[in-house]
Amino acid sequence: MNKSLIAVSALGLIMAGLAGVASADVSKAPTKKITVFYPGSSGMEWIQKGLEHSGAKGVKKGEACIACHVDEKTGNEESADIGKKIVSGGMSKDIALEPTPIKGKPGSIPVTVQASHDDGNIYLRFSWKDTGFNSGKKMDADNPIKVGVMLEEAGKVEHDTVGGCWATCHTDVRTMPGVKDDKKTKYIKDGNLAAGKFYDLIQFRSGKGQKPVDGYIADKRVMEGGKALTDAKGELKGGIWTVTFTRKLSGGEGDVKLEPGKLYNFGFAIHDDHTAGRYHYVSLGYTLGLDNAKANINVMKQ
């Protein structure tokens, strides 16, 4: 091999290396469709009420929401039907899960979810067609759109794998029907940061500056203190919203450490139309793992 050939092949290696970095682009990762739907006031206590939620018995036996509501083989979900009924104020066994409906609000949003990781970070990408819905009410004047993601190490918290984000959502928190307390936020039973009993919570806010928000939910919801989220950015382009999170696999207090071989509970929510509190769209609970075929969302190394 002469010198210039060696130089060329060395350059080739460098180029391949660069291409390797470029291919860690989460927009190229496998896609999964997950429909987020309007849950109204269906907190964990409602989910467990046999007289109101037909799935309560299954939940008590430890069946996860998606076991009944999503056909993982076909990707069919009832979420769109559920959301449509609840958002319009429809009755379920004589109760309306949304006593104060926002007129014309769509019941669900189909979202394309992508995830990948490298040695240091996990990348999460959410894209969906903007609904264009505008109620004119601005509960959160600063942010037209917010995307929240929750992560939890499976098995740490009561109802976690069975309930997904519902384990943090209770019928006695603020903005729930009949609740006078305007301070009480999401929480988990026996929530305790030091004992690892918490849900990690990261959030994208579309308002000015788009500062990533990294918090957690233990005995209450805290929207700061996390060190894992390094970036959360989003844009609306050609009628499509795309939001991408860059999060360290490691983390500090209030951050779930993501390790190969473990399963994590994963759920996400979208607030559109400047909404706040429970007036959002949510996903059912899914499991997530790094290079783990057992996980509903298998985050592969790129």
C-beta closer to ligand HEC: residue 69 or 248: 69
Minimum CB separation from ligand HEC for residue 127, in Å?
24
Q: 173 to 212, contacts with ligand HEC by CB under 6 A?
A: none
CA–CA distance, 172 with 178 (Å, rounded to integer):
9
Q: Confirm if 198 and 264 have CB atoms less than 8 A apart.
A: no
> Taking Cα atoms as reference points, which of 82, 60, 58 lies closest to residue 68?
58
C-beta closer to ligand HEC: residue 107 or 251: 107
Binding mask 53-92 toward ligand HEC (x if CB under 6 A, else -) reads xxx--xx---x-x-xxx------------x--xx-----x
Among positions 47, 113, 115, 173, the unique one binding ligand HEC when judged by CB under 6 A: 47
Residue 243, number of CB atoms within 10 A of its CB: 24
C-beta closer to ligand HEC: residue 39 or 148: 39
Q: Confirm if 60 and 48 have CB atoms less than 8 A apart.
A: yes
Minimum CB separation from ligand HEC for residue 157, in Å?
13
CA–CA distance, 118 with 47 (Å, rounded to integer):
37
The residue behind tokens 């007289």 is 51
Minimum CB separation from ligand HEC for residue 245, in Å?
23
C-beta closer to ligand HEC: residue 228 or 282: 282
C-beta closer to ligand HEC: residue 98 or 255: 98
Q: Which stretch binds ligand HEC (CB under 6 A): 51-59, 108-116, 177-185, 260-268?
A: 51-59
Q: Contact between 39 and ligand HEC (CB under 6 A)?
A: yes
Q: 149 to 178, contacts with ligand HEC by CB under 6 A?
A: 162-163, 166
Q: 259 to 278, contacts with ligand HEC by CB under 6 A?
A: none
Binders of ligand HEC: how many residues, by CB under 6 A? 22
C-beta closer to ligand HEC: residue 37 or 216: 37
CA–CA distance, 46 with 38 (Å, rounded to integer):
15
Q: Confirm if 162 and 64 have CB atoms less than 8 A apart.
A: yes
Residue 137, number of CB atoms within 10 A of its CB: 10
Minimum CB separation from ligand HEC for residue 167, in Å?
8
Q: 94 to 123, contacts with ligand HEC by CB under 6 A?
A: 97
Question: Both tokens of residue 296?
Answer: 């509903």
Question: Both tokens of residue 83?
Answer: 């959301």
C-beta closer to ligand HEC: residue 148 or 163: 163
> Taking Cα atoms as reference points, which of 197, 217, 216 lies closest to residue 153?
197
C-beta closer to ligand HEC: residue 52 or 140: 52
Question: Both tokens of residue 297?
Answer: 């969302």
Question: Both tokens of residue 275?
Answer: 């909404």
Position 136: which residue type?
Answer: G
Minimum CB separation from ligand HEC for residue 269, in Å?
12
Q: Contact between 223 and ligand HEC (CB under 6 A)?
A: no
> How far is CA 42 from each of CA 35, 201, 268, 289, rounded to the nearest angstrom?
17, 20, 16, 27
CA–CA distance, 147 with 113 (Å, rounded to integer):
12
Question: Both tokens of residue 99?
Answer: 């006593």
**Applying CB under 6 A, which residues contact ligand HEC?**
39, 42, 47, 53-55, 58-59, 63, 65, 67-69, 82, 85-86, 92, 97, 162-163, 166, 284
